[in-house]
């Protein structure tokens, strides 16, 4: 996909360079190029799959099943994606990745980190509990590749940050989350409002006494993807303000993700039948989320007139009633709904 650097991003870089920085100018250029090169890859360095739905996206309130349907079916995107890289954002993302690596390394040293590993020497990819070296070539240059999870039938897949074996009576998954101001803005608006009104960040940190909603859903999806192998997940929260840490152990609760799985089922059935799922209730062609979606024109059947999107004149109803869509699915798949 062709990418265009927004003027705002170029201006930020030029402003940095004009300040006379002997290091930050070249460093910013290097980081922004690296950030662009890493797009489309997950935290383990693997290409991010575009033929499945990802728990990290499904757990958010703005998740659109219809968007994932178009992505899985390979529908062309109707707009050019514009990159708007920044050194600050790259710094935030890198710091979050480093925090993950820190805890994974400590758990590896403790001998309790289970998951998949890869050897940098011979390329062996294997599942193990805290190995010391590659079992094929004995190289010490091995890397942790987390816990890949997949449900082919439902077309849902992702990576949990890790699994802990042998430390508790029952083994469990782990999720590491670094908590900063952006986390509060997206995940805890009430706490973010306190911050805007002058409450110190360290005081807000002590008010966090349970996982944020989207984090909880993401973890429940990972447990569900494990197919019964795990029934609990430990969240590790680290404050970006003070580096203080807290943990929350949560057992599997299927009711938390029941609506999400129903929507995922609609996507999977729709992909097989060639029928897109219904749009979310919040969807609107001129809404902020839909306007930023590459599949907007396809989804809303828009046509270009003088460079502007307009609804097609042939389209009078943009959403079929749920019963009509389910009947079409049943006919296409040969199943009762």
pLDDT tens, residue order, the chain (337 aa): 444 445 565 565 555 545 556 776 776 777 666 666 555 555 555 666 889 999 999 999 999 999 999 999 999 887 644 555 566 666 666 767 789 999 999 999 999 999 999 999 999 999 999 999 999 999 999 999 999 999 999 999 999 999 999 998 899 999 999 999 889 999 999 999 999 999 999 899 999 999 999 999 999 999 999 999 999 999 999 998 888 999 999 999 999 999 999 999 999 999 999 999 999 999 999 999 998 899 999 999 875 444 455 544 333 334 445 555 566 566 555 554 4
Residue closest to 131 by CA, chosen among 139, 82, 236, 294:
139
Helices assigned H by DSSP within the chain: 7-18, 24-37, 55-58, 65-72, 87-110, 181-187, 189-196, 201-205, 213-225, 258-273, 288-291, 296-300, 322-333
Rounded Cα gap, residues 26 and 12, in angstroms: 13
Contacts of range 297-302, beta carbons closer than 8 Å, 24 or more positions apart: 297/78, 297/79, 298/70, 298/75, 298/76, 298/78, 299/66, 299/67, 299/70
User: Which residues, in sequence order, are CB contacts of 111 under 8 Å at separation 6+?
Assistant: 129, 130, 166
38-259 CATH pick, 3.30.70, 3.90.320, 3.40.30, 3.10.20: 3.90.320
CA pair distance 59, 155, nearest whole angstrom? 15
In a 3-state reduction of DSSP, which class is residue 61? coil
- In the three-class reduction of DSSP (H, G, I as helix; E, B as strand; rest coil), residue 240 is classed as coil
- Whole-structure pTM value: 0.80
Q: What is the pLDDT of residue 97?
A: 79
Given 3-state DSSP classes, what are the helix, strand and coil percentages for the chain, each rounded to the nearest 5? Answer: 40, 20, 40
Q: Domain-by-domain residue ranges, the chain? A: 38-259, 275-333
Q: What is the pLDDT of residue 241?
A: 84
CB 309 within 8 A of CB 78: no
The Cα 291–Cα 67 span in angstroms is: 12
Cβ 96 vs Cβ 112: under 8 Å: no
Q: What is the pLDDT of residue 132?
A: 97
Whole-number pLDDT of residue 186: 92
Q: What is the CA radius of gyration of the chain?
A: 22
If we measure between CA atoms, which residue out of 141, 117, 138 comes closest to residue 129? 117
**Cα distance from N-terminal residue to C-terminal residue, the chain:** 38
Number of H helices, E strands in the chain: 13, 13
The CA distances from residue 335 to 63, 328, 329, in Å, are 27, 10, 8
Q: Are strands 308-311 and 232-239 parallel, antiparallel or unpaired?
A: unpaired
């Amino acid at each position: 996909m062709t990418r265009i650097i927004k003027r705002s991003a170029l201006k930020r870089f030029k402003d940095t360079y004009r300040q006379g920085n002997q290091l930050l100018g070249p460093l910013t250029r290097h980081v922004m190029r690296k950030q662009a090169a890493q797009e489309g890859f997950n935290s383990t360095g693997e290409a991010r799959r575009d033929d499945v739905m990802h728990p990290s996206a499904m757990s958010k309130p703005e998740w659109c099943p219809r968007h994932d349907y178009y992505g899985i079916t390979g529908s062309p995107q109707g707009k050019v994606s514009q990159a708007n890289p920044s050194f600050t954002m790259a710094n935030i993302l890198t710091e979050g990745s480093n925090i993950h690596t820190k805890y994974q390394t400590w758990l590896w040293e403790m001998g309790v980190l289970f998951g998949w590993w890869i050897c940098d020497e011979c390329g062996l990819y294997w599942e193990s509990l805290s190995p010391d070296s590659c079992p094929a070539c004995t190289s010490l240059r091995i890397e942790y590749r987390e816990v890949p999870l997949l449900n082919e039938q439902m077309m849902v897949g992702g990576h949990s940050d890790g699994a802990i074996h042998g430390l508790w009576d029952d083994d469990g998954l782990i999720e590491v989350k670094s908590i900063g101001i952006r986390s509060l803005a997206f995940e805890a608006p009430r706490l973010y409002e306190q911050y805007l009104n002058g409450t110190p960040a360290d005081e807000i940190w002590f008010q966090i006494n349970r996982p944020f909603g989207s984090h909880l859903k993401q973890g429940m999806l990972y447990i569900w993807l494990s197919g019964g192998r795990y029934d609990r997940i430990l969240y590790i929260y680290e404050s970006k303000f003070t580096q203080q840490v807290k943990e929350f152990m949560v057992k599997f609760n299927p009711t938390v993700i029941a609506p999400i799985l129903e929507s995922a089922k609609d996507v999977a059935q729709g992909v097989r039948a060639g029928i897109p799922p219904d749009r979310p209730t919040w969807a609107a062609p001129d809404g902020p989320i839909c306007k930023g979606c590459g599949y907007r024109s396809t989804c809303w059947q828009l046509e270009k007139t003088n460079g502007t999107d307009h609804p097609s004149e042939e389209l009078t109803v943009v959403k079929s009633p749920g019963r009509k869509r389910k009947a079409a699915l049943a006919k296409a798949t040969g199943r009762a709904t």
